[in-house]
């Protein structure tokens, strides 16, 4: 049996199944990227809830795994060379899991890099911009009298949706016929934008019919349905 005791994170979240990949997360758009990927690949894993309400992400144990105090993070007992690997940043984890399983990323070099470019499009654009829009529309920012910050993120979010909508014309998924980590990264954020952030009308989501069509196909996948609720909130 794999010994994970040298990793301090296992002191706060003991591994009941140390032979399985350990997931430390919360069901947010970034968090569910990894739980969905794990469900899609069929890898055995053990989820652990990192509660923001109790500031788990600031605990020494979690910071030993991710000094940037963000979810998700993983600890794979069967990493490269059969040695345990700790990893944070959702995009990096998706790439790692795709390479580990040989799934959801093209095997040819050109297709691989095209998929990575759309993964970076989500990491550098969709995630940060939608997140800022959510702050200004739903949370503390909604009380600001000056609506210019909100409107800035509305405009940029619409632009990004437009880029993706045009790309998805005559395509089932971002990479064409094949479902990849680019989709797994992007569509939890799009779902969150029009759902939890309640910004569908603000960005004119009904205009982006290709994005809406692909989102509908995404949320209908059984692995997505399951992964969206992992880890279960306390």
Mean pLDDT, rounded, for 128-140: 95
Residue 234, pLDDT above cutoff 80: no
Residue 118, pLDDT above cutoff 90: yes
Per 3-state DSSP, what percentage of the chain is helix, strand, and coil (rounded to 5)? Answer: 55, 10, 35
142 vs 14, residue with greater confidence: 14
Question: Considering only CA atoms, which of 188, 200, 187 is closest in space to residue 28?
Answer: 188
pLDDT score, position 142: 86
CA–CA dist 130, 6 (Å, integer): 38
Question: Considering only CA atoms, which of 49, 2, 3 is closest in space to residue 23?
Answer: 49
Q: Please, what is the average pLDDT of the chain? A: 97
Q: How far, CA to CA in Å, does 19 sit from each of 16, 114, 174?
A: 9, 33, 34
């Amino acid at each position: 049996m794999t010994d994970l005791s040298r990793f301090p994170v296992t002191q706060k979240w003991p591994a009941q199944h140390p032979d399985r990949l350990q997931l430390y997360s919360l069901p947010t758009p970034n968090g569910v990227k990894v739980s969905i990927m794990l469900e899609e690949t069929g890898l055995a894993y053990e989820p652990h809830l990192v509660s923001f309400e109790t500031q788990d992400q600031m605990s020494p144990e979690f910071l030993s795994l991710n000094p940037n105090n963000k979810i998700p993070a993983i600890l794979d007992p069967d990493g490269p060379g059969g040695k345990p690997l700790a990893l944070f940043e959702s995009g990096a984890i998706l790439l790692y899991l795709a390479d580990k399983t040989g799934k959801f990323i093209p095997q040819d070099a050109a297709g691989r890099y095209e998929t990575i470019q759309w993964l970076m499009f989500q990491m550098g654009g969709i995630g940060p911009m939608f997140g800022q829009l959510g702050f200004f529309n739903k949370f503390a920012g909604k009380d600001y009298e000056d609506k210019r910050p909100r409107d800035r993120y509305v405009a940029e979010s619409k632009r990004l949706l437009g880029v993706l909508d045009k790309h998805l014309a005559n395509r089932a998924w971002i990479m064409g016929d094949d479902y990849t980590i680019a989709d797994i990264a992007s569509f939890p954020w799009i779902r969150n934008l029009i759902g939890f952030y309640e910004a569908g009308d603000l960005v004119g989501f009904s205009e982006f019919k290709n994005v809406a069509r692909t989102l509908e196909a995404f949320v209908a996948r059984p692995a997505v349905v399951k992964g969206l609720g992992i880890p279960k909130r306390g």
